[in-house]
């Protein structure tokens, strides 16, 4: 995949030029976890109409629906966030659904956007698409050097195909599409259903509930030894407008902190911030997953960009949101 020149983050861009270029921005998955962060970030930067349909209006898994969506909305830009996503337990239980739904939806929406003459297409894929044995910190060049973690391979490989589609349509048609790779994202509006949740929302729910019931012990999966690179969703969202304005390449970019945190350290942080004072027990009969997954952020930093929110600050915001949203019945449990 050939690189294309990019502007640096500090290069001025005329707001009028942006408005003239992007007048209608379609965001699929706008009502999901990252959509709740990215839509306000787009509104803050672009003087453009944002169209944020729900799945009930346009079920992108149904034949001809992506084409109808493009025909009715007529967007200049598509930010494709719609996906089937979940934690390791749900991926392990339903790998075929994760493979089919993501592969079918991504392929159809991408092609429909191209056919409709969209000027810019931006989408996200997970860091779990990297090979399970990729050395940390994981650079973007490692993507094709092995098979992903088997427990989530259906989802991971479906997402990996976005890179192939981006390259192929750019090479043959000159279609401007961008694929970004956030690290382990967490924040407000996440999914806190214990069967489907990723590690941070699952821990937050467990420790908040344990603090309220004054439980003496919380049981956690694995040994606590694996390390991860956690990135606050607000930081990821803040970067999206820059990539829409300035980045013209099918080379992916990691969006993360590059900082290593063990699962045990994470658990202790969440417990403290949630006000839980009992003991933690690690169930080592359950899998740890990949032992080390930290992302190389040199390509991001070379663009003059970063994800600056400290982990404790992001966790504190997420815990406060979870407590308030639960009282209002506005959280996925």
Which residues, 6 or more positions from 307, have their beta carbon under 8 angstroms from its beta carbon? 183, 231, 232, 235, 236, 239, 255, 256, 257, 297, 300
Give catalytic status of residue 155 as yes or no: yes
The per-residue DSSP string of 100-151 comes to HHHHHHHHHHHHHHHHTT-SEEEEE--GGGS-TTPPSSBPGGGTTSS---GG
Query: Is the distance from CB of 176 to CB of 244 less than 8 angstroms?
Result: no
Separation CA 87–CA 199 (nearest Å) = 8
Query: Is the distance from CB of 318 to CB of 200 less than 8 angstroms?
Result: yes
Separation CA 201–CA 199 (nearest Å) = 6
Phi-psi region of 193 (alpha: psi -120 to 50; beta: other; left: phi over 0): beta
Q: Which residues pair with 253 in a beta bridge?
A: 180
Q: Is 315 helix (H, G, I), strand (E, B) or coil?
A: helix
Residue among 228, 220, 232 nearest 189 (CA): 232
Separation CA 90–CA 330 (nearest Å) = 22
Helix (H) or strand (E) holding 266, with range, is helix 263-274
Beta strands at 227-228 and 261-262: parallel, antiparallel or unpaired? antiparallel
Q: Which residues pair with 185 in a beta bridge?
A: 231
How open is the CA angle 132-133-134, to the nearest 5 degrees?
95
Separation CA 159–CA 286 (nearest Å) = 26
Active-site hit among 98, 155, 169, 276: 155
The owner of tokens 């599409």 is: 177
Residues annotated as catalytic (active site), given as ranges:
155
């Amino acid at each position: 995949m050939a690189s294309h020149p990019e502007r640096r983050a500090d290069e001025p861009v005329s707001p009028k030029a942006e408005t003239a270029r992007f007048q209608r921005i379609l965001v699929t998955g706008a009502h999901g976890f990252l959509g709740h962060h990215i839509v306000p970030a787009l509104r803050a930067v672009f003087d453009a109409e944002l169209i944020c349909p729900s799945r009930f209006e346009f079920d992108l898994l149904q034949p001809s629906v992506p084409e109808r969506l493009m025909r009715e909305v007529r967007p200049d830009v598509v930010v494709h966030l719609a996906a089937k996503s979940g934690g390791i337990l749900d991926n392990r239980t339903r790998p075929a659904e994760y493979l089919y739904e993501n592969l079918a939806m991504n392929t159809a929406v991408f092609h429909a956007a191209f056919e409709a003459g969209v000027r810019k297409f931006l989408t996200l894929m997970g860091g779990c698409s990297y090979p399970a044995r990729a050395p940390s910190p994981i650079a973007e060049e490692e993507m094709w050097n092995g098979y992903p973690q088997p427990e989530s391979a259906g989802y991971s490989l479906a997402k990996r195909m976005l890179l192939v589609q981006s390259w192929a349509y750019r090479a043959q048609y000159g279609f401007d599409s961008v694929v970004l790779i956030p690290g382990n994202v967490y924040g407000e509006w996440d999914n806190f259903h214990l069967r489907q949740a990723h590690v941070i929302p699952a821990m937050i729910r467990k420790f908040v509930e344990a603090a309220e019931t004054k439980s003496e012990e919380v049981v956690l999966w694995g040994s606590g030894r694996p390390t991860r690179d956690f990135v606050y969703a607000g930081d990821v969202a803040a970067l999206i407008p820059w990539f829409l304005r300035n980045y013209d390449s099918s080379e992916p970019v990691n969006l993360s902190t590059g900082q290593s945190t063990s699962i045990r350290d994470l658990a202790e942080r969440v417990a403290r911030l949630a006000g839980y004072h009992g003991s933690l027990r690690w169930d080592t009969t359950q899998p740890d997953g990949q032992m080390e997954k930290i992302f190389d952020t040199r390509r991001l930093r070379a663009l003059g960009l970063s994800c600056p929110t400290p982990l404790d600050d992001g966790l504190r915001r997420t815990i406060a949101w979870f407590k308030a949203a639960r009282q209002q019945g506005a959280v996925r449990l």
